[in-house]
Amino acid sequence: MAAYICTRFCVNKFKDSIRFIPQRYRVKTKWDFDTTYSMQLGSLWPSVRVAMLSEQKYGALINNFSSTSSMITAELEEEGCIDFIGSRQHSKDSRPLHNDPAEVDVSKPAAHEPRISPDIKCLVFPQGGISRFKPSRPDSTGLLGYYLLDAASVLPVLALDVQPGHTVLDLCAAPGGKTLALLQTHTVSFLWANDLSGSRTARLRKTLQSYLPREHLEENKIQISSFDGCKLGPTEEKRFDRVLVDVPCTTDRHSVMVEDNNMFNRSRTKERQRLPLLQIQLLMAGIQTARPGGDIVYSTCSLSQLQNECVVQQAISQAQEMGISVQVQDLGWLTQCFSNTFYFAPQLSVGELVLPHLCANFGPIYLCKLRRSN
């Protein structure tokens, strides 16, 4: 009862504070959104909310297929940008040392920092800076020099840890930011980029055409398709070394700022409520398509526990019922390496969450890495 009263008190306080939010920043369904996240994030929510209502920061993913990539990188560095991947702090061992073996969480095997390809570069303006990137220019062959994206959305790609010779499935790939980041590592031997939506798949193809030499796209190394990802589990079973499951979600930053086609509109309530089920089905398909020993990264751009940790936990138990064993992999190395650039949520039950923050206004991006063992 005390907890209930306390929660109601916090929500009411929050409702009071919301009256000061300018009309253009309010979304019709603000109560739904604010109530859910103020309860979930507690004292962190007001600061996350303010960050989400402020201008988002971008990262420039350098296109190393462009002949001008070194020049563009140098130009951006001269403007003060930093390659957040190349300048990461190296982690030794991501797990805190325990004296008592009983304290060690065996469900999360210790993970060391993997070898990240030196070819992938993503430049950001320094913390607190509000400079914007100019639109990218084409080189003499028409290839664009960089791709602008939420820099935190590169993290699921880094967590996937693609090594030379790996086959990769990008299950929900459009419009293609993460596909492009995967290709910048020059490690993938075969990449299948899939998306249910035909129009978004066309956008993905266009993105790849603007950034990759034609010969590269014509080789048999990249396959683009428009299938329902949920159905690929049985047909592509145990086929891939790495699987990225970047699911459709409530896209919280978009939802808080843009009223048009907002996922929190009453007309989309049913669709929103069905999202976790679809996300579980997609993650299950991802798990099925991974080979034994292969890794799967699940990601969203939502703060929602129901779409993040709950989906992962549900998929793990459904996989177990099917006789597939998957273990959550520790991403402590990733939070250690990139804590200078991103603000990570403390203490999630599974996975990691980049929280928007005024000093580091990226995210939200949730990611969780799983390893299939049989």
Provide the annotated active-site residues: 301
Query: Does residue 254 belong to the site contacting ligand SAM (CB under 6 A)?
Result: no
Distance CA 300, CA 303 (A): 8
d(CA 21, CA 49): 11
Interaction between residue 197 and ligand SAM (CB under 6 A): yes
CB of 178 to ligand SAM, least distance (A): 4
Element holding 96 (H helix, E strand):
none
Comparing CB distances to ligand SAM, the nearer of 177 and 332 is 177
- Span interacting with ligand SAM, options 40-48, 224-232, 308-316, 360-368, rule CB under 6 A: 224-232
User: CA 26, CA 193: separation in Å to the nearest integer?
Assistant: 36
Using CA atoms, how far residue 112 sits from 97, 123, 288, in Å, is 14, 24, 25
| By the rule CB under 6 A, 295 interacts with ligand SAM | no
202 burial (CB, 10 Å; 0-12 / 13-18 / 19+) is middle
Q: Does 369 bind ligand SAM (CB under 6 A)?
A: no
Phi, psi torsion values for 270, nearest 5 degrees: -60, -45
For position 59 contacting ligand SAM by CB under 6 A, the verdict is no
> Does residue 229 interact with ligand SAM by CB under 6 A?
yes
Residue 182 or 337: the one with the smaller Cβ distance to ligand SAM is 182
Minimum CB–partner distance for residue 256 and ligand SAM (Å) = 16
- Contact status: 291 vs ligand SAM (CB under 6 A): no
For residue 246, state whether it binds ligand SAM (rule: CB under 6 A): yes
Count of positions (residues) in the chain: 374
Contact with ligand SAM (CB under 6 A): which of 59, 233, 248, 332?
248
Cβ atoms of 168 and 243 within 8 Å: the answer is yes
- In the bound state with ligand SAM, the residue whose beta carbon lies nearer, of 251 and 340, is 251
Q: Is 200 in the site for ligand SAM (CB under 6 A)?
A: yes
Helix axes 2-18, 45-52, angle to 10 degrees: 30
User: Given the complex with ligand SAM, which of 111 and 171 has the nearer CB atom?
Assistant: 171
Q: Are 94 and 111 in contact (CB under 8 A)?
A: yes
Rounded to whole angstroms, what are the CA distances from 302 to 37, 333, 336?
Answer: 11, 22, 22
Of the candidate residues 230, 257, 306, 310, the single one contacting ligand SAM (CB under 6 A): 230
What is the rounded distance in angstroms from the CA atom of residue 43 to the CA atom of residue 370? 30
Q: Tokens 């919280």 appear where? A: 252
Q: Which of residues 145-184 bind ligand SAM (CB under 6 A)?
A: 153, 171-178
Does residue 175 have a cis peptide bond before it, meaning omega lies within 30 degrees of 0? yes
From the list 1-9, 36-44, 245-253, 338-346, the region that binds ligand SAM by CB under 6 A is 245-253
**Does 196 sit near ligand SAM (CB under 6 A)?**
yes
- Rounded least distance, CB 197 to ligand SAM, Å: 4
Query: Does residue number 193 form part of the binding site for ligand SAM (CB under 6 A)?
Result: no
CA–CA separation, 123 and 86 (whole Å): 9
Binding residues for ligand SAM, per CB under 6 A? 153, 171-178, 194-197, 200, 228-230, 246-248
